[in-house]
Amino acid sequence: MTTDKLVNYLNTLQSKGLYRTRKNTHNQKNARISFRDKTLINFCSNDYLGLSVNETVIRALQKGAEEFGAGSGSAHLICGHSHAHHALEEELADFTGRERSLLFSTGYMANLGTITALCKHGDHIFEDKLNHASLLDGGLFSGAKFKRYPHNDSVRLSQLVSAATEGEKLIVTDGVFSMDGDVADLKALSDIAQKNAAWLMVDDAHGLGVLGKTGGGLVEALDLTTDDVPILMGTLGKAFGTFGAFIAGSDTLIETLIQSARTYIYTTALPPAIAQATRASLKIVIEETWRREKLQALIAQFKTGAAQLHLPLMPSDSPIQPLLVGDSFHASQMSDQLIEAGFLVSAIRPPTVPQGKSRLRITLSALHQVDDINRLLDALDTIHQSYSYNAK
């Protein structure tokens, strides 16, 4: 009986164009990826600065493994917290201009653990509707009263926050939104937070490394301090090219998380070699500003080209450039056609995005060349012309 139910569930997904499959790939340097018997130009990775394939970072990983072993051997609070982790935490605190930082094994766990450590039954959590699933799950798991406000609607948020009278209040937002590529109005959010004695937590998984003069992300680009954004979350598997995540903030915040964030306490620490590799990549993020400049130039080139071809790009200045398709079947078909044409671009469908908002999520990297972008634009033009859109 149970198996029948699962079969039904899987069949339903298939009939709705929502079935997900994994691609068995082999990542290469220069923004190329092998899939089946083809080498494709990769336009769906979050490796915005190309650091996952950087020689210096790879060597730091190798050396780190020789020095510290392949794994950490335990959780941080037992004996897994090595010199490598500690040094990286101090460097991330400096980098973000916060008193301290705390490493988590993944971004999902950082978000879940932080939100549930700070808010409980009787407290209030407010989240943008388009927040990453890990932030939404944190809100749900916490047991607090959980409200989602319409995307970037700070007027609505303000009403909701001021109506909450008892308990702690926590406002949570993506910095750069992961499926849309646009950014949160952090100045407005921080005003609302300060007026209402609420916490503000910003998940800048897609802004760190990419935005700001030294890659400090949206908070650096907007010149916001710890007072404005007391809880800053970043991931290390995107622009940093490695793996893991961190929370940066005050000494008190970090101590609280060490004592009570269950996803910090009850999990094995990252391999220290990963921390060593991330220390090398952090240096490159800060120093090699040409990577950000080149990425910005490629974004501008892509947007200009797409506008000339009347491609329905969603408004975004980030390396996440979604092309709205609407129907989930069409999005999948376009993604398949792009593979035929030599490009890997992922189709993003519900429930990751709302019904009727399926899209191709095109991501750019400093590893791309001007010619890669031109070739993608040509292919998109051809494929786009062969479809009629039902996007709303």
Ligand X SMILES: *Cc1c(COP(=O)(O)O)cnc(C)c1O
Q: Which residues sit at the interface with ligand X, rule CB under 6 A?
A: 106-108, 111, 132, 134, 174, 178, 203, 205-206, 235, 237, 245
Question: 174 or 372: whose CB is closer to ligand X?
Answer: 174
Supply φ then ψ for residue 112, to 5 degrees.
Answer: -60, -45
Q: Are 85 and 278 in contact (CB under 8 A)?
A: no
Q: How far is the CB of 67 from ligand X (least distance, A)?
A: 24
What token pair was written down for 5?
């139910």
Question: 80 or 138: whose CB is closer to ligand X?
Answer: 138
Q: Are 182 and 318 in contact (CB under 8 A)?
A: yes
Supply φ then ψ for residue 165, to 5 degrees.
Answer: -105, -35
Q: Are 142 and 120 in contact (CB under 8 A)?
A: yes
DSSP symbols for 41-87: EE-S---TTSGGG-HHHHHHHHHHHHHH-SS--SBIIIII--HHHHH
Name residue, tokens 């329905």: 312
**Residue 342 CB-density burial (10 A; 0-12 exposed, 13-18 middle, 19+ buried):** middle
Concerning whether 178 is annotated as a catalytic residue, the answer is: yes
- Distance between start and end Cα atoms, the chain: 40
What CA–CA distance (Å, rounded) separates 271 from 243?
Answer: 10
Give the number of other Cβ atoms within 10 Å of residue 187's Cβ. Answer: 13
Q: Are 322 and 179 in contact (CB under 8 A)?
A: yes
Residue nearest to ligand X (CB): 107
Q: E-strand spans in the chain?
A: 25-27, 32-35, 38-42, 100-104, 124-128, 145-149, 169-174, 199-203, 231-235, 245-249, 320-326, 343-344, 346-348, 358-363
Q: How far is the CB of 52 from ligand X (least distance, A)?
A: 13
Q: Which of 76, 169, 238, 330 is catalytic?
A: 238
Q: Which residues contact 376 (CB under 8 A, 6 or more apart)?
A: 41, 43, 302, 343, 345, 362
Question: 206 or 330: whose CB is closer to ligand X?
Answer: 206
Question: 174 or 327: whose CB is closer to ligand X?
Answer: 174
Q: How far is the CB of 7 from ligand X (least distance, A)?
A: 30
Q: How far is the CB of 287 from ligand X (least distance, A)?
A: 24
Q: Which of 85, 206, 368, 384 is catalytic?
A: 206
Question: 64 or 237: whose CB is closer to ligand X?
Answer: 237
What CA–CA distance (Å, rounded) separates 285 from 153?
Answer: 32
Q: Which of 134, 178, 316, 346 is catalytic?
A: 178
State the maximum Cα–Cα separation within the chain, in Å, rounded to a whole number: 60
**Residue 338 CB-density burial (10 A; 0-12 exposed, 13-18 middle, 19+ buried):** buried
Q: How far is the CB of 135 from ligand X (least distance, A)?
A: 7
Q: How far is the CB of 109 from ligand X (least distance, A)?
A: 7
Question: 95 or 379: whose CB is closer to ligand X?
Answer: 95
Q: How far is the CB of 172 from ligand X (least distance, A)?
A: 11
Q: How far is the CB of 37 from ligand X (least distance, A)?
A: 29
Catalytic residues: 178, 206, 238
